Structure 1
Amino acid sequence: MSDTSHQFLNETTSRLEKLAAVAADGGLDPALDLITGALQSGGIIQAFGTGHSQAFAMEIAGRAGGLIPTHNIALRDVALFGSQDVSILSDPKLERDPSTVEELWAITAPSREDIFIIASNSGVNGSIVGMALEAKKHGHPVIAVTSLEHTSRVTPKHPSGKRLSEIADVVIDNLAPYGDTTLSVGDDIGVGAVSSLTAAFIAQLLTIGVAERLAAEGSVPPIYLSANIPGGDDHNHQLEDKYGDRIRRYA
C-alpha cells in the first residue's frame, strides 16, 4: 500500500469508528425507534437519495441482508412510471429541481405508516429538500443522513431556504468534511471522498439495529436472503408479496 492509500484508509476507518461509537452510545436510538415503530405498524421505509447518495438508498432497499419492507425512491421514476420523457434524465441538474417532487410523490404514493430516510451529503438540493418537506406535510417521520460540516457552509437551493437537516426529525451526521474529499494532490486538488463509505456504514448500522430490536421483541426480522443462494428467491418473494406494489424492485 502506498502512503496515500494508508492515509485514505485512516480517514475512512477513523470515521467509521466514530460512527460505531455513536451507535454503541445510543446515538442512533432515536432513528431506530422511529424505523422499528413504523415497520411494526405496517409501514415501510421510503429511502431517497440523488446523485451519489442514490447508493445510500440502494444500501437500505432491496439488498441481501437488508430489510424487505423498503422502497428506493429514484428520480428516474418520473420517466419510468410518470409522465416525463426519458430525456429529462440526461439533465445533471435534475436533482436541484424542486418541481419534480410533486409527481415523484404521487408515483410513490406512500402509506400513512411509512417512514422516510433521505440521504444527501450537501442536504440543500431542491428535490431532496422538497421531498423532506412533502413527507413532513403529510405527517411522515423523516430521518436525514447528511454532512453537517458541509451543509452548514452552503446555501440551500430550495425556494423554502431550508436544509434537509432543518426539516428532519432525526439527523445522522455522515462525518464527511466540507467538499467530501479528505486528501489533496497536486495544487490542492481534492480526492478521497468518504460520504458514500460512511453512508453505507450508517445504512448497515440502521438495518442491523432494527433487526436486533425486532428479534428482541419476538418477531422474525423480514430480511432478504441473497438471490444467488438456493431458496433465496422463494424466501424473498414470499415476504415481498405481503407488501404488494408498495415496494418496487427493478433493474
Structure 2
Amino acid sequence: MAEPQLSAARFADESRAAADRAIEANKATVAAAARLFADCVAADGVVHGFGTGHSQATVLEIVGRAGGLIPTNRIGLADLVLRGGEDRSVLADPLLERSPGLARRLYELAAPHPQDLFVIVSNSGVNNSVIDMALLVKEAGHPLIALTSLTHTRAVPALHPSGEHLADLADAVLDNCAPAGDALLPLPDGGALCGVSTITSALLVQMVVAEAVGLLTAEGRQAPVYISANLPGGYERNALLEEHYAGRLHRGGF
C-alpha cells in the first residue's frame, strides 16, 4: 500500500531531507557566520536577533536559551511597550511591522555597540521592516547575517522601495532550504501543509553556535554559554555571567 501523502511519516521524511539539504548547502556559510559570531564575542560584542511573525521562533534559538551564548539580545515589536514607553494597544495593529520608522525605533532601543553583530531572520526576506532594519544595520557598520529561504526570496519581487531582498544586504546568508511558502506537503485542493523553516533554521543556528564556540575555544578564549536555569545553581551562574553585559541583554519581544 502506498504511503499516504498527508501523514506524520511523510512529513518526517520530507523534513529530514530538507535538513540534509540545509546542512549540505550551508557548509561554507555556517563557517563564515561562526567566524562573525566568534569575532563578536571576542570583541565583547552582543549578537542581536531580529525577526517578525513566526521568524521570532528562530530568534529564540539564538537568544537567551540553555546551551546558547550569553551575549545575545532579542529585538521584537514588544520593545516599543516594554522599553519604549508606547501604550500596549500599539501591538494590536496587524500592520505594525510595516510602520515607517519602526526599524529605526527598535534599533535605537537596542542601543547596539559598534562591535555588535546582527542576525535577521525572514523566510521571504522581503518584508519592509526587515529590510529597513538590515539597511540601518549596514549603515551603522555592523556585520549582518541573514537567515532566509533562498528559494522563496528568489521567487518573489522585492517589496521595499530600495528594491533589495534581505539576502542582498548580508555579509553571510544562511539558507534554510524551505520551499516557497514554507510548507512541505501539498494539499489535494491546492496549498500545502506543515512548515519546515523553523526546523531547518534552528538546526543552522545551533550549527553556527557550535562552530563559533569551537573557534573561541581553539583560540584560548572562554565562551560565555548559558546552562539550564532548571539545573542546581544554573540561574545564579547565568546571572553572574550576565552582569558583564548589564543593560545590553533583553529577553522581551513579540
**Structure 1 length normalisation: TM-score?**
0.94
In structure 2, the partner of 1:17 is: 20
Deviations along 1:136-172, one digit per CA (max 9) or x if unpaired, are: 0000010000011111122323222211111111111
Match of 1:150 in 2: 152
- Which one of 29, 32, 38 corresponds to residue 30 of structure 1? 32
Q: Which residue of 2 aligns with 1:123?
A: 125
Q: Is the 8 A contact 2:124 2:152 kept in 1?
A: yes
TM-aligned CA deviation for residue 2 of structure 1: 8.8
One-letter amino acid of the structure 2 residue matched with residue 7 of structure 1 = R
Q: Partner of 2:247: helix, strand, or coil?
A: helix
Q: State which of 87, 98, 107 in structure 2 corresponds to 1:105.
A: 107
> Which 4+ runs in 1 deviate beyond 3 A?
none
* Structure 1 residue 26: Cα displacement: 3.6
TM-superposition CA deviations, 1:86-126 (whole Å, max 9, x none):
11211222223342112111101100000001100011111
Aligned counterpart in structure 1 of residue 87 of structure 2, from 85, 88, 101? 85
Match of 1:242 in 2: 244
- Equivalent in the alignment of 1:225: 227
**Secondary structure class of the residue paired with 1:157:** coil
The reply to whether residue 8 of structure 1 matches residue 11 of structure 2 is: yes
Segment drifting more, 115-124 vs 89-98:
89-98
**Displacement of 1:32 after TM fit?**
1.1
Q: Which amino acid aligns with 2:90?
A: I
Letter in 2 for 1:172: L
- 96-105 or 121-130: bigger deviation: 96-105
Equivalent in the alignment of 1:166: 168
Contact kept? 1:97, 1:125, Cα under 8 Å: no
**Partner of residue 201, structure 2:** 199
Taking every aligned residue pair, what percent have the same amino acid on both sides? 42
CA distance in structure 2 between the aligned counterparts of 1:21 and 1:161, rounded to whole angstroms: 29
Q: How many residues align?
A: 250
Deviation at 1:135, TM superposition (A): 0.4
Q: Is the 8 A contact 1:150 1:178 kept in 2?
A: yes
| Structure 2 residues without counterparts, runs of 5 or longer | none
Taking a change above 3 Å as real, the CA distance of residues 98 and 153 of structure 1, as seen in their structure-2 partners, is farther
Q: Is the 8 A contact 1:22 1:28 kept in 2?
A: no
> Following the alignment from structure 2 to structure 1, what is the Cα–Cα distance between the partners of residues 163 and 6?
42
1-structure distance, mates of 2:126, 2:215: 32
Task: Supply the distance in 1 between the matched residues of 2:128 and 2:86 (Cα, whole angstroms).
Answer: 18
Structure 1: gaps of 5 or more residues: none
Asked if 1:216 is matched to 2:214, the reply is no
Amino acid corresponding to residue 99 of structure 1 in structure 2: G
